[in-house]
Amino acid sequence: MAEVTAALVKELRDRSGAGMGDCKKALVAVEGDIEGAIDWLRKKGLSTAAKKSGRVAAEGLIGVASAANKAAMVEVNAETDFVARNEAFQNFVETVAKLALSVGDDVEALKAAPYPGSDRNVADELIQLVATVGENMTIRRAKVFTVAHGAVATYVHNALRPGLGKIGVLVALESPSELDAVVTLGRQIGMHVAATRPDALDIDAVDPAALERERSVLSEQARASGKPEAIIDKMVEGRIKKFYEEVVLLEQIWVLDGESRVRAVVKKAGAELVGFQRFQLGEGIEKEVGDFAAEVAAVSGVPQTV
C-alpha cells in the first residue's frame, strides 16, 4: 500500500478538482493508487465538479443570519435560478451565513472553516454540493457587522424563506435605546437601502474618484450654458449637493414619509447609523448571453444566413 502523503493528495486534487478531504478519502479507499482514486471520485460524481468551475454563476441566493449585537450576510452563486429553490442549496447558504457570524467576512477563512455535521470544510462541502446538483457554485462575498450597544438589523427583499432572497441589507445602529425599537428602525432603513441603493454612508465616505468624475461632468454641462465662471462654480456646487442627496444614505429623503432626511430620522430615534451593506444577487458579474441560432448552426454545421 502506497503512503497517502500530502503531495499525493495535492496531485489528486489538481487532477480531479475535488476537495482535499474527498481526495484523501479516495486515496485511502484505493490504497494510494492515484488512477484508482480518480475512478473512485468519478464514481462518486466528485471529479465532475472541476469541469463546472469555469461556468458563469450569477444566480443563487443572498443569506443573512443574526446574533446578539451582530449580523452576517453572504452571497452564494449558482448558474440558474432553479437551484435557488433547491432545499440542499438553501440549507448550505443558511449554514454559511451562520458560520460567518463566528468566522467573519473573510471568504477564504469562511471556506476553510469546518462545515457543521460533516468531516469536510466549507469549500469541500460546496464541491460535494456542486457534484450533487450539477451546477457551478461559488461563495462570492460576505459581510459582518458588530455593534457595542444597539443592533445590527437585517432585511431581505422578497425572501424565498426567512433570511434568504435576492437582495439583502445589513444596517448597524449604535443606540442605548430599547432594542426592539432599534431593530424596527434598522429594518426600515434596510427597506430604504434596498430601494434607493446608496453608495456611501455619509459625505466623507463618498469615493473621491466618483466625486471628481461627477464634478467634471457637471462643470462641462454648466460651461455649455455660456455663463461666467463665478456663476458656473455656484451651479456646480448646487448640483453636487443634489448628487450627495442621491448617493449618500444619511442625506437621502426617507422613503417612508417622503420629506425627512435619513439623518434626521436616525437622530430623532436617539441612534447613530454606523454602517450598512447592500448585496444584490449577481451584481457586477458579467453574464453570458447566448446566441441560440449560432449555437444551432455550430452544432448542425449549417452556416447562418442573413
Could you give the CA distance from residue 148 to residue 282 in angstroms, rounded to a whole number? 32
Q: What is the pLDDT of residue 55?
A: 56
| C-alpha cell at position 118 | 460533516
**94, amino acid identity:** E
In order along its 306 residues, the chain shows pLDDT tens digits of 567 888 888 887 766 667 777 788 888 888 888 878 877 776 666 555 444 444 555 689 999 999 989 999 999 998 888 889 999 999 999 999 999 999 999 999 999 999 999 999 999 999 889 888 878 889 999 999 999 999 999 999 989 999 999 999 999 999 987 888 999 999 999 999 999 999 999 999 999 988 888 888 888 777 777 777 778 778 888 888 888 998 999 999 999 999 999 999 999 999 999 999 999 998 877 665 444 455 444 444 445 444
Global pTM? 0.74
What ranges in 197-287 are assigned the alpha helix state H?
A: 208-223, 229-247, 262-268
Q: What is the pLDDT of residue 288?
A: 55
Q: What is the pLDDT of residue 114?
A: 96
Could you give the CA distance from residue 36 to residue 40 in angstroms, rounded to a whole number? 6
Q: What is the pLDDT of residue 306?
A: 40
On the CB side of 133, CA atoms within 13 Å amount to 26
Domains of the chain: 6-52 (1.10.8.10), 59-195+271-280 (3.30.479.20), 207-245 (1.10.286)
Whole-angstrom CA distances from 122 to 70, 97, 109, 152, 275 are 21, 11, 9, 25, 28
Q: Is 57 exposed, middle or buried (0-12, 13-18, 19+ CB in 10 A)?
A: buried
Dihedral pair phi/psi, residue 139, rounded to 5°: -90, 105
* Residues near 20 by beta carbon (within 8 Å), at least 6 away in sequence: 9, 10, 13, 121, 124
| C-alpha cell at position 184 | 424596527
| C-alpha cell at position 226 | 455660456
Only one residue has cell 441603493, namely 197
Q: What is the pLDDT of residue 283?
A: 87
Q: What is the pLDDT of residue 53?
A: 46
Whole-angstrom CA distances from 159 to 70, 85, 87, 305 are 20, 11, 14, 45
